[in-house]
Structure 1
Amino acid sequence: MGVVVNLEEGKRGAGSIKRLIELTADDMARVNELILSKAGSDVELIPELAWHLISSGGKRLRPMLTLAAAQMFGYSGEGHVKLATSVEFMHTATLLHDDVVDESDLRRGRKTARMIWGNQASVLVGDFLLGQAFRMMVDVGSLEALDVLSTAAAIIAEGEVMQLDVSKNLETTEDEYLSVIKAKTAALFSAAAEVGPIVAGASRNDRAALRSFGMNLGLAFQLVDDALDYGGSTTDLGKNVGDDFREGKVTLPVILSYRRGSEEERQFWKKAIEENETDQAALDKAVRLMNKHGAIGDTISRARHFGEIARDALAPLKNEPQKVALIDVIDFCISRVA
C-alpha cells in the first residue's frame, strides 16, 4: 500500500505545492518505503489502525519541508529521509491523540480511528508511532536534530493541555489563542523545517531562517484552517465544514466575533459554544455574525501577516530551487481562502 499525496491546490490555483512535490519526489518515495516498514508490527491492530490514517491522504507538507530544507544545503545522505519520516509519524500520532481529545467522528472524510477501534487503541497506536519516530531520530545520530524534534514533541503536548484550558472559554484572548496554535501546530512545522539544515551541516543563521519560516508558516496554516471551517469546503479543509463549531472549539473567528458582538450576540455564542447548541441553523447564524464583524476576513489577514514573516525569513538564503518551492508553500497555504 502506498502513501497517498494530495495534490490539492488553492481554490483559484493561486498557490501550488507542485514544485515542492517534484523536488522531493525521489526522497518522498524513500520516506514512503520507510513508513511502510516502521508502521509494521507483529501486533496486528497497530499497522491496521496506523494505516487507516496514514493512507487516507493529506498534503504531507511537513516531511516535504524537511526534505527540501536538507536539499537546499546540498545534503545527499540518508538522515533527512529518517527525520522526515519521524516528522510524519509525530504528526500522525498527534492526529490520533487529537481526535480522542476532541471526540472527533471524521478525519479527512473518513471515520476517525477512535470511532472504529476505540479511544484506548488510538492513543496507544499514537504512542507506538511516537516511539518509532524517536528510534529513527536516534538512528540519524544527530543530537541537535534529536533535541529540536524532542523539544517540539514536548511543546505539542503542552499545546494540547493549553487547548483544554481554553476549550469552550469565550473569554480566551487572541494572544492566548495564538500561544495555543503556536505550540499545537506551528512547533512541528518549525522543527520539520529546521532539522533539514541541521542534518545538512548548515550554519546557525540558516537554521534560524528555516526555523522562523516553519513557525510562521504553521501559524498561517492554522489560521487559514480556522477561517475555512466557517467559509470553506470539505475538500479545502480535509474535514467537515463546521466541525470546529460543532465541537465547541474557540478559534480566532469565534474570539473576534464574541469580542465585537452585542450582548445579545454574546448570549448566542455562550449557548452555542458552552451549551452545545450547534445545529445547522446555529452554524448559519455563526457565519452571519462572523461576516458582520469581519472576523473571518481578519483571521485571514492575520494568516497573511504570518505568511509574509515566513517569506521574509527566507529572504537571506540563496535562491535555490528549494527556496522558491518553500515560498510556493506560503502562497499555497493562503490561496486556500483566496
Structure 2
Amino acid sequence: MTSTDPQLAEKGARMGLAAEIATREPFADVAARLKAAQSRELDAVGEVILEHLDSSVSLIPEVARHLMGAGGKRLRPLMTLSAAQVCGYQGASHHHLAAAVELIHAATLLHDDVVDESALRRGLRTANIVFGNKESVLVGDFLFARSFELMVKTGSLKVLDILSQASCTISEGEVLQLATQSNVETTQKMYIDVISAKTAALFGAATHAGAVLADAPERQERALADYGMNFGIAYQIVDDALDYEGTEEATGKSAGDDFREGKMTLPVILAIEAARSGEERAFWQRTIGEGQREEDDFARAQELMARDGLVERSLSMAEDYAEAAATSLGALPPSRLRDTLEDLALSSSVRAS
C-alpha cells in the first residue's frame, strides 16, 4: 500500500480543478450572452428605474445617475428577470421587481462607499467624493424608499416580504463586516457569514422573488433561492481573491484595495492560518490589524499568498459554491435559459486575473 502526501494531493486536486475551469466559457462571455438575450427586458427595467429616479430635488437624480451611469454588469436585475422567465412568467411586473432589486443594490453601494471611505468605483470617483458623505447617505435612503414603491407595484406580499428581509440582512452584514474589519482573529465562518449577508442575500432574494412572481412550485422557489445565495457567495469570494492577483478590468477596482482598507477577506484569513513564523504573523497584524502599511507591503502579501497557493485555494472554495448553485437548477424543467443560468454559475470563477 502506498501513501500520498496530503499537500501533494491537494496541489494535484487544485491543478485538476484549474484545468477543468480553464475549459469553461469565461464569465464575462456568459453574462454578455444572457444580457443580449434579455436586452429588451433590461431596456424596460432601465425605463422604470429612470422614472423612479425623478425628484423635484435636483441633487437626488444627479447623485443617483452618477452612480448608476458608471456602468456595471446589471447582474441582479438580469438574474431577477431570468428567474421569473425560467419559471414560465409571462407578465410585466418582473420589470418592477428587477428595478427594485437594482435600486436596493445601488443604495447599498452609496452607503458602502461612505462606510469604506472609498474614492473610486469602476474607475470613477465615488459619489461621496464628488457630492459628499451626507448627500450619498440620503440619496441611498431615497433609493431604498423608491425600491419599496416598486415592490408594492408587483402586487405580491410575498415578494415584499422576501426583499424586505433581504434589506435587513444586508444591513446586518454591513455591521458584521465592521466587527471583522482589521480583526486578524476573523475565522472562515465569520467571513462566510459576512458575505452571505452583505452580498449573497440580495442575489438569493432576487432569484427567489422572481420565482414567486411566476407562481412557481415551492420546490422551484427553493431551488432558485439556493441558486442565488450560492452564486452570490461564489461571486464575492472570487472578487476578494482577485484583489490579490486580478486586474481592474476583471474586478472593477484597483488591485490591493481590500488590502489597503484592512479587509479580512478569505485570502488574508488563509494567509494568517498558513503563517510559518512569528515574523509572518506580525506582518499581517501590522498591515491588516493595525493598518500600518508601507510601500512594498502589498507585494509582500502577494508573495506570501503565491507561495502557499492561497488565491487558488480561495477560488477552489468559490467553485464549490458555484457548483452547488448550478446543481440546484436541476429542480427546474430543462430549457435554454436554465442552461445559461447554470453556465453563469459555473463560470463565476472564470474571471480574468
TM-score, length basis structure 2? 0.90
CA distance in 2, matches of 1:39, 1:278: 41
Q: Does structure 2 retain, via aligned residues, the 8 Å contact 1:83–1:136?
A: yes
The equivalences for 1:303-318 within 5 A come to: 303-318=318-333
Paired residue for 2:183, among 169, 189, 196?
169
Aligned to 1:332: 347
Give how far 1:332 is off.
Answer: 3.3
Aligned to 1:23: 37
Aligned to 1:189: 203
Comparing 314-323 and 244-253, the one that deviates more = 314-323
The equivalences for 1:137-176 within 5 A come to: 137-176=151-190
Give the AA of the match of 1:333.
S
1:14 matched to 2:20: no
Q: Does structure 1 retain, via aligned residues, the 8 Å contact 2:219–2:331?
A: no
Shift in alpha-carbon separation, 1:160–1:153, aligned structure 2, 3 A: same
The equivalences for 1:109-128 within 5 A come to: 109-128=123-142
Structural RMSD (CA): 1.5
Give the AA of the match of 1:323.
R
Q: Considering only CA atoms, is the larger Rg found in Structure 1 or Structure 2? A: 2
Q: Does structure 2 retain, via aligned residues, the 8 Å contact 1:246–1:279?
A: no
Paired residue for 1:89, among 70, 93, 103?
103
Task: Could you list the structure 1 runs, at least 4 aligned residues long, displaced by more than 6 angstroms after superposition.
Answer: none
Q: Does structure 2 retain, via aligned residues, the 8 Å contact 1:148–1:195?
A: yes
1:295 matched to 2:314: no
1:200 matched to 2:214: yes
CA distance in 1, matches of 2:246, 2:146: 35
Give how far 1:151 is off.
Answer: 0.4
Give the AA of the match of 2:273.
R
The higher-RCO structure (CA 8 Å, 6+ apart) is: 1
SS of 2:88 mapped into structure 1: coil
Give the AA of the match of 1:207.
E
1:254 matched to 2:268: yes
SS of 2:272 mapped into structure 1: helix
Aligned to 1:41: 55
Unaligned runs of 5+ in 1: 1-9
1:69 matched to 2:83: yes
Give how far 1:13 is off.
Answer: 5.1
Instruction: Report how many aligned residue pairs link the two structures.
Output: 329
Paired residue for 2:288, among 273, 289, 298?
273
CA distance in 1, matches of 2:279, 2:71: 42
CA distance in 2, matches of 1:216, 1:116: 35
Output one character per residue of 1:112-145: Cα deviation in whole Å (capped at 9) or x when no partner: 1101111111011000000000011011110110
Give the AA of the match of 1:28.
L
CA distance in 1, matches of 2:156, 2:262: 41
TM-score, length basis structure 1? 0.94
CA distance in 2, matches of 1:123, 1:219: 26
